[in-house]
Amino acid sequence: MRKIISGLLIISMFSLLVLPYNVKAESKATTIKGLKAELEELKRQRNINNQNKNNTRSSINQKKQAMYDAYDQKKKAEDDIVAANNKIAECESNIEKTKGETAEILKFSELTSNENVYLEYLMQSTSIADMSMRSKAISLITNYNQDQLQTLSDLIEENERLKVELRQKQADLDVAIGNYNKAIVQLDLYMDELEDVGDDINEQIKNQEELIKYYQKICTSETQLLTDCVKVLASTSLIRPLQKGVVTSPYGSRINPLTGKTTSFHYGIDLGTTAMGVPVYAAANGMVAAVTYKSSCGGNIIYLHHNVNGVAYTTQYAHLLSVNVKVGDTVTNQSVIGYVGGGGSTLKKNGGWDTCSTGVHLHYAVSKGHYLGGGKDGYSSFSTFKAKMIDPGGYFPKKGTWFYRRY
């Protein structure tokens, strides 16, 4: 039974635990028509991801129900063991009683034999047939209790075997319950991964739709090259997005400030300020590619496209108290694009929306290429955005040191 349960569990797990649908990384769109085609592909990916989530949720429910059933079977086995013990005790009591009755019968048989009562009883027979019946009756009386003792002994042996079988069943059910628990944990982790992928896809769809609306306003047709519709103002360098601040968490591996335990990779730098509401500037000339409002992890976020010495970059500004720009806006390195948040009313625990912040700060990140952009430098996947991240700390002081100018 144990092998069957474990085998079925393993088969069902591996039939379900496939990797989430691989979200499209690179955008090859050079026209609005191309962006629309990519949008439809993103929606198709979302449908697949939603189906995977439904299947996973169904499997989790099935595993939980199977585990509850196993608990019920284990409880029934416990009750059956108690019943078997009670039956054994009852049989043992009956055996003692029957042994006493047998002893009395044998004693009576001896007495009657000594006093010739047995012979007298037979002599009272009226025929040979009657004598035979009387002889058999005496034999039956003496043998009856012996048969009853054997029957009771057999019942005790049968119930002892039943107890052994039930204990083995409990052990098998414990293994099954443990496997179900492991499967549920794995499925929950897989569901978390699907949720992350789903959030990523939904965010891409939203930003892609905004980008299409922007290009529809400035392009003359859906087949015009996007590079001909807009030119990102060139810059010679990226500069600091704050006039005054301090690096509280640099780029790279760190202890997660939310848990205090798990080591994680920080794809950017955190810049502390004196208070919420401090102006945030664009790090270079560019265009607003996307704006996310009240994300559960990051709050209000702005993405800007830049062209720095002929190289395409995207900068990210997260945990903003408020946003001062919209998709398609052209900015310079002197433009105030938003204001520092990350604390106070923006925190989830205070009734806000941001669960990924422990206090007032700006999360600033730089990635190569144009996230949510078209052409040779464009790509749509947030995972690609992270993969192309670079350390922006070169023009910032060391952790814990305040700076008082933007360059």
**Residue 135: per-residue pLDDT:** 66
- The confidence band for 335, taking pLDDT boundaries of 50, 70 and 90, is very high
Per-residue pLDDT, averaged over 340-345, amounts to 88
- Please check the confidence at residue 114 and state whether its pLDDT lies above 50: no
Name the more confident of 109 and 47.
Answer: 47
- The confidence band for 353, taking pLDDT boundaries of 50, 70 and 90, is confident
Name the more confident of 372 and 130.
Answer: 372
**Residue 5: per-residue pLDDT:** 35
Measuring CA to CA, which residue among 218, 190, 206 is closest to residue 59? 190
Name the more confident of 26 and 244.
Answer: 244
Per-residue pLDDT, averaged over 335-358, amounts to 85
Name the more confident of 143 and 21.
Answer: 143
Tokens of residue 5, six digits: 């349960």
**Residue 357: per-residue pLDDT:** 82
Judge whether 2-7+40-203 and 231-403 match in fold.
no
CATH classification number, 231-403, choose in 2.70.70.10, 3.40.50.2300, 2.40.170.20, 3.30.413.10 = 2.70.70.10
CB atoms within 10 A of CB 135: 14
- Please check the confidence at residue 298 and state whether its pLDDT lies above 80: yes
Measuring CA to CA, which residue among 395, 195, 229, 258 is closest to residue 315? 395
Question: Lowest-confidence range among 7-16, 247-256, 355-364?
Answer: 7-16
Any alpha helices (H) in 115-127, and if so which ranges? 117-123
Query: Which pLDDT tens digit goes with each residue over 2-25?
Result: 333 333 333 333 333 444 444 444
Residues 79-86: contacts with CB within 8 Å, 24+ apart? 80/162, 80/166, 81/163, 81/166, 81/167, 84/159, 84/160, 84/162, 84/163, 84/166, 85/159, 85/163
- The confidence band for 331, taking pLDDT boundaries of 50, 70 and 90, is very high
Per-residue pLDDT, averaged over 120-134, amounts to 68
Calculated CA dihedral for residues 369, 374, 375, 378, nearest 10 degrees: 20
- Going from N- to C-terminal start, the domains of the chain cover 2-7+40-203, 231-403
> Tokens 């720009």 appear where?
325
- Please check the confidence at residue 233 and state whether its pLDDT lies above 60: yes
Residue 111: what are its φ and ψ, rounded to 5°? -65, -45
**Residue 231: per-residue pLDDT:** 66
- Residue pair 60/184 in contact (Cβ under 8 Å)? The answer is yes
Question: Lowest-confidence range among 32-46, 61-75, 123-137?
Answer: 123-137
Per-residue pLDDT, averaged over 98-112, amounts to 59
Residues 6+ apart with CB under 8 A from 299: 318, 319, 320, 341, 342, 346, 352, 353, 354, 356, 357
Most confident of 66-70, 151-155, 341-345: 66-70
Residues 190-197: contacts with CB within 8 Å, 24+ apart? 190/16, 190/17, 190/56, 191/53, 191/56, 191/57, 191/60, 193/20, 194/20, 194/49, 194/52, 194/53, 194/56, 195/53, 197/20, 197/21, 197/23, 197/49
CATH class for the region spanning 2-7+40-203: mainly alpha
Name the more confident of 77 and 112.
Answer: 77
